[in-house]
Amino acid sequence: MEEFFKDIIPFSTEVMGAGALLIASFTSLFSVVNPFTTMPVFLSLTEGDSEKEMMRTARKATIYMFIVLITFLFIGTYILSFFGISLPGIRIAGGIIIMRTAFSMMNPDKGGRKLSAEDQEAAMEKEDVSFSPLAMPLLSGPGSIAVVIGFGSQASGVFDYIVNGMAVFLTAFVAWGILRVAPWLNKVIGKTGMSVVTRLMGFIALAIGVQFIINGIANFYGI
């Protein structure tokens, strides 16, 4: 974990053990996904649904989230490389996206990752909101996609992909657990607690975004 807090990204099993890599990858991804910010939208969109329907929506949303992120983990780097984008470019662009997400998380009262009034009204008319807007863009938005592409760009072998894939699964599983207990958690934490958690996650995400950019620039100059 010392290397994680020193470098944040990049990391691989060549730098740290499998267990430390799993923890580092999970911490990085979870702080950007931050399912706590999705809770209010989830509760709003499922208002009036039965508990069984809410649980089904939460399960489907996190399954979709896992599919999106695991796809970008394995092929995201190749897709961007196909368009001639270098790895340093991927890291710098990803860092900018993550920083933008982080700033909005650190100022949740000024928009955060909430849906616009128009988007939420449109979502209310959908029969199934699990994929859009819950899975995308709330749970697996540009920031989290940038993180997993970063994981893929740093992978030194199949084992790294396996460990990072486990981190994606663990993030989706924890997100499912949070949405599952969202009504109770919302009452316990309250608006103030949610704001504190979101700002804390935002700060961690900001550090990750900055490190993405630093590593991208260093990589470009061969440092």
Structure confidence at residue 6 as a pLDDT band (50, 70, 90) = very low
Nearest to 27 by CA among 139, 135, 147, 136: 147
pLDDT digits (tens, 9 = 90+) for 61-96: 999 999 999 999 999 888 877 888 887 888 888 889
Region for residue 124 given its phi and psi (left: phi exceeds 0; alpha: psi -120 to 50; beta: otherwise): alpha
Q: Break the chain into its structural domains and give their ranges.
A: 22-218
pLDDT digits (tens, 9 = 90+) for 36-69: 889 988 998 888 888 899 999 999 999 999 999 9
pLDDT digits (tens, 9 = 90+) for 152-172: 888 888 899 999 999 999 999
